[in-house]
Amino acid sequence: MSKGLADKITEVFKPQVPLWTCELTSKHVIVAGVNRRRNAVKAKAASELPAGSLVSSYAESNIRNPESVRSTLRQLLGQAGFSGHEIVLVVPDDTSRIAFLNAENPSKNPEEQNTFIRWKLKKTLPFDVDSAQVAYRILEPQKGNAGVDILVALSPRAIVEEYENLFDSLDIHAGMVLPSTLAALNLFQAPSGDSLFLKVAPDCVTTTVFQNRRIQFYRRVTEASLYDATYPTVLFYQDKLGGTGLQHLFVCGYDFDIRTQLIELQEKLGLTPQRIEPMSIDDIFKPALGSVHLAWQNLI
């Protein structure tokens, strides 16, 4: 599941995944690279951004101080030993909307699939869907369900171009663009049973439900504790997805202290939080390394 998730999400932008990646958050610049076989980490580095340099949103300009962000990025790329002219760009989850669609008999023509997705979401999103950057994956059919489900990621084109132009100014082409949670999920192999995946970022928390290894639900919440962000998803899982009991809780965070909130979450849900693999790598680098398809099993 985890390996295939990126295949369709990224192929809209470019079929060949670069070996280097950069994630930008409102607080960090994160750079990582892998070898050509993608079974070893070549380099990784992270640095804090000056406060106020970048905000994460799909409704307004993100890069508030381009020179500050560019300077930090240039320094970090040099520190990591970046080489080449192409990179994967991991953007904040707040810049994208993730949706699930159902299609009874979807076309096999990619252009018609794209048209269907834009038409279906045209009246439900607060930005221009016709010009938006769209990536999607058709999920495997479920037994007993009519049609197929489609996982869709959309970002306003103007927001994506802000990030692309930043790298263009450094003579680097952003060959792929991925929201942070979907990038991190490329490292995640959901176990049997029902799982809840939490991605904790500086400005939001995303919750993703897997049932029998299949992604079923995604939700993004801002300005909420881990439990407050998680509880509505648990209710949806029980009431709408027919869930009878979550068996696993996985958490991927950044470099700030969430231990107290994790204790509350464990007490109220009765689930022990687990980190996603590989354990040998700090969580702050996992979305970046997931975006370049790190074969993490080789690191254990």
- Tell me the pLDDT tens digit for each residue of 205-241: 999 999 989 999 999 999 899 999 999 999 999 999 9
Other C-beta atoms lying within 10 Å of the C-beta of residue 259: 8
User: Nearest 5°: CA angle at 226, between 225 and 227?
Assistant: 90
Compute the average pLDDT of residues 175-187. Answer: 93
Q: What angle do CA 118, 233, 277 make, to 5 degrees?
A: 90
pLDDT at 169 over 60: yes
User: In the structure encoding, which two tokens stand for residue 143, read together?
Assistant: 């037994």
The predicted-structure confidence for 62-83, as pLDDT tens digits, reads as follows 999 999 999 999 999 999 999 9
**pLDDT tens column, 3-59:** 344 444 444 434 579 999 999 999 999 999 999 999 999 999 999 999 999 999 999
The average pLDDT across 271-291 equals: 94
CB atoms within 10 A of CB 122: 11
Percent of the chain exceeding pLDDT 70 equals 92
Name the helix (H) or strand (E) containing 222: none
Between 177 and 11, where is the model more confident?
A: 177
Q: Given pLDDT bands bounded at 50, 70 and 90, which one contains residue 103?
A: confident
Q: What is the pLDDT of residue 254?
A: 72
The predicted model scores a pTM of 0.89
- Name the maximum alpha-carbon separation found in the chain: 54
Question: Mean pLDDT score of the chain, rounded to an integer?
Answer: 90
Q: Which of 155, 159, 164, 160 is nearest to 136 (CA)?
A: 155
The mean per-residue pLDDT over the stretch 97-107 comes to 88
Contacting residues for 65 by C-beta, under 8 A, at least 6 apart: 50, 52, 53, 54
Q: Which domains does the chain possess?
A: 2-93+157-182 (3.30.420.40), 95-153 (3.30.1490), 190-276 (3.30.420.40)
Q: What DSSP string describes 170-204?
A: TT-EEEEEEEHHHHHGGG--PPSSEEEEEEE-SS-
Look at residue 256 in the predicted model and tell me its pLDDT: 61
pLDDT of residue 75: 97
Query: Is the per-residue pLDDT at 124 higher than 80?
Result: yes
Residues 6 or more apart in contact with residue 39 via CB below 8 angstroms = 294, 295, 298, 299
